Structure 1
Amino acid sequence: MNIKIVGAGPAGLYFAALMKKHDPRHRIDIFERNSRDATWGFGVVFSDRALDFLRADDEAIYEYLMPNLETWSQIAIAHNDTRIGVSGNGFSSIGRLELLTLLYEYVERLGVKIHFNTNITNLAQLGEADLIVAANGAFSWIRSENEEKFGTTVDWRPNRFIWYGTSKTFNSLTLTFRETDVGVFCAHHYRYKPDMSTFLVEVEEGTWERAGFETMAPDQTINYCERVFRNDLDGHPIISNNSYWRKFPAVWNERWSFDNVVLIGDALRTAHFSIGSGTRLAMEDAIALFRALRECGPDLQRSFSRFREMRLPAVKKIWDAANVSIRWYEDMNRRVSTLTPVELAYDYMTRTGRLDHAEIRRCDPRLAAAYEALHPEVIQG
């Protein structure tokens, strides 16, 4: 099979690896517009459950990646200077560029060709192909140019976020909420290597406007955020990597393919970073598409239908939960101003409806007991 993949992110790279390992006769080319050492952002995160799927499906890639991951066994929610640790939530993280570099080397050893600095802007540029995989991210031109065929909807959410890093290393994935005179600032921060952490800052749009970020230069924005989080950064700087304020696009496609073209990863659907499932979903897409093609053979339309059939229930469940999580942050000014630290942590953990009080009690009896002391009615519930 002659396979052309647009986008050298986790979805495209892992799909290429699975196909090439299964049948080395496949000719697989990946086209990436950026250079080999270019990336945006800092670290990416996996939950323990996300890594469980990888271990079950591909022990070799799991063992290849694991030595490069930072791990921790709990998360924390900080309400100003009060920090609430929550047990039973294991996570691992890795630098985005480091993850991509490991995957580049993995697929190249298998014989997959990656064409860096190659900006494909229309399908005709790809030439002859049996299968075209659109793995070119949340802003996929393949999807945007064929929205009617895919049944695409894009819902731009109002909160603003900016993806920074810092040399301050944190010992768990932490959400720090800081009240200021213009509104609440939330930092999503976690260590992704021994000397670096992701430090993503999110605010409601009204807070962004009142702070005056629209007219600030990049260094002024960094200085402002460093002042807000000075107690958390301990004198360490915030570091930019072409960082800028953005809004999150909630992308969905009713149809996942047309002709010989199929969407995977963020091109297919986006999941808000607050649930830490974007990379997991991308790699699970790759596994499902590979399995569908292996099961259905050269009949692409049957393979595409099977791919959607296998993935839709899990994808829709996570996508729905992610969208509930988005809206939780869109009301964080009110939540932080009216909830105690324990209530905020509990509200956060139960925000998507996937965890109820019984599950909180099982995962972290201390948090459950502290919440019960404030709300004894929950015990009867």
Structure 2
Amino acid sequence: MKIDIIGAGPAGLHFASLMKRLNPRHEITIHERGPRSATWGFGVVFSDQALDFLRTDDNELFEYLRPHMESWSDLTINHNGTSVPIAGNGYAAIGRLQMLSLLYQHVERLGVTIRFDTEITSLAQLKGADLILAANGASSWVREENRDKFATTTDIRPNKFMWCGSTMPFDTLSLSFHETGTGVFCAHHYRYTPAMSTFLIEVTDETWKRTGFDRMSNDEAMRHCEKVFARELGGHPILSNNSYWRNFPVIWNGRWHFDNVVLMGDALRPAHFSIGSGTRMAMLDAVALCNAFRETDDDVPAALARFRELRMPVMKKIWDAANRSMRWYEEMDKLVPTQNAIEFAYDYMTRTGRISHAKVREIDPRLAAAYESQHPEVLDAPGA
């Protein structure tokens, strides 16, 4: 089978790896518009649960990537300078470019061809392919040029975010919230090497406007945020890698393929960064599509239909949770001033509706007990 993949991100690379090992005779080419040695962003984070999925679905790749990751066993919520550590939340992180570079080497050893600095702008350029995989990100031109065929809907959310980095090596995955005179500022930050961290800044649209970010350059905005998060940064700078203010797009596709063209990863459905599952979801897409081809003996129409059947139930649960988490952040201007540090950390843990009080008690008994002391009525709730 001749397979052309648009985009050398985790979804396309993982699918290429799985399919080449499934059948070495597959002719697989990945077309990547960027250079081999550069990418946007900083680190990629995985929960322990996500790593467990990777270990189960592709232990060879898990063993290959795991030694290159930073890891920690808890989460920290910083609420106006008060830190609340939360146990039972293991994570690992790796630099995005390092992860991609390792995946490039991995698939090339298997016989996959990657064509860097090659921009595909029309599906006609891939004439003769048995399968065209559009794994070219949230702004996928394949999806946007075929919105009717994919039944695409897009909801641009109001919060502004800027994906930055810092030389401050944070001890844990942390979320820092600070009230300022113009509104609440949030930073999502974690180290991905011993000397580098991701530092993602998020504010509501109202805070963004009141602060005057619409009149600042991106560099001026980062210098302003260094002052807001001076406690967390400890004198370290906020760094840019094509960093600019963006709005998150909630994208849904009623159909996942047409003809021999299929969407995967962020092109199919971005997952809000607040649950740290975007890369995991992209790679699980790859696993499901490969399994669909295995089940259907490389029957493309049957495999593409089966892909949606296999992937939809689990994917939809995570996507819905990500959207509930996203909307929680859209309320942070109201939440941070009205809750103390324990209440806020507890609210964060239960924000998606997937974690009950009993589950909080199981994950972190100290946080549950602290919240119970302030809100004893929670003990009367069903399932508590």
TM-score where L is the length of structure 1: 0.99
In structure 2, the residue matched to 1:186 is 186
SS of the counterpart of 1:186?
strand
Distance 1:206 1:192 in 2: 31
| 2:260 is the counterpart of 1:260 | yes
Matches within 5 A, 1:267-282: 267-282=267-282
Superposed CA RMSD = 0.7
Distance 2:270 2:219 in 1: 30
Distance 1:146 1:176 in 2: 40
Distance 1:147 1:312 in 2: 19
Distance 1:323 1:309 in 2: 22
Distance 2:375 2:306 in 1: 47
Distance 2:219 2:160 in 1: 17
Which residue identity is paired with 1:225?
C
Shift of 1:149: 0.7
In structure 2, the residue matched to 1:30 is 30
Distance 1:121 1:34 in 2: 13
Shift of 1:218: 2.4
SS of the counterpart of 1:3?
strand
Shift of 1:107: 0.3
Which residue identity is paired with 2:205?
E
Distance 1:229 1:248 in 2: 23
Which residue identity is paired with 1:284?
L
The C-alpha deviation readout for 1:34-92, integer Å capped at 9, x for no partner, is 00112111001000000001101111100000000110101111101100011111101
Distance 1:230 1:277 in 2: 28
In structure 1, the residue matched to 2:10 is 10
Distance 2:299 2:25 in 1: 18
Number of residue pairs aligned between Structure 1 and Structure 2: 381
Matches within 5 A, 1:36-185: 36-185=36-185
Which residue identity is paired with 1:374?
Q
Matches within 5 A, 1:152-301: 152-301=152-301
In structure 2, the residue matched to 1:307 is 307
| 2:365 is the counterpart of 1:368 | no
Matches within 5 A, 1:282-361: 282-361=282-361
Distance 1:372 1:156 in 2: 37
Shift of 1:215: 1.5
Distance 1:19 1:174 in 2: 37
Distance 1:44 1:80 in 2: 26
The C-alpha deviation readout for 1:277-323, integer Å capped at 9, x for no partner, is 00000000001000101110232121111110010001110111111
Which residue identity is paired with 2:264?
I
Distance 1:375 1:100 in 2: 46
Distance 1:159 1:342 in 2: 24
Shift of 1:214: 1.2
Distance 1:127 1:115 in 2: 17
Distance 2:340 2:262 in 1: 47
Which residue identity is paired with 2:373?
A
SS of the counterpart of 2:177?
strand
Shift of 1:154: 0.9
Which residue identity is paired with 2:152?
T
The C-alpha deviation readout for 1:168-223, integer Å capped at 9, x for no partner, is 01111100001100000000000101000000000000000011111212221111
Distance 1:88 1:46 in 2: 14
Distance 2:292 2:179 in 1: 49
Q: Which moved more, 1:317-326 or 1:216-225?
A: 216-225
Which residue identity is paired with 2:56?
A
Distance 2:56 2:265 in 1: 20
Which stretches in structure 2 are left out of the alignment for 5+ residues? none
SS of the counterpart of 2:346?
helix
Shift of 1:253: 0.7
Shift of 1:125: 1.1
SS of the counterpart of 2:158?
coil
Distance 2:353 2:87 in 1: 18
Shift of 1:124: 0.5
Shift of 1:225: 0.5
SS of the counterpart of 1:271?
coil
Which residue identity is paired with 2:343?
E
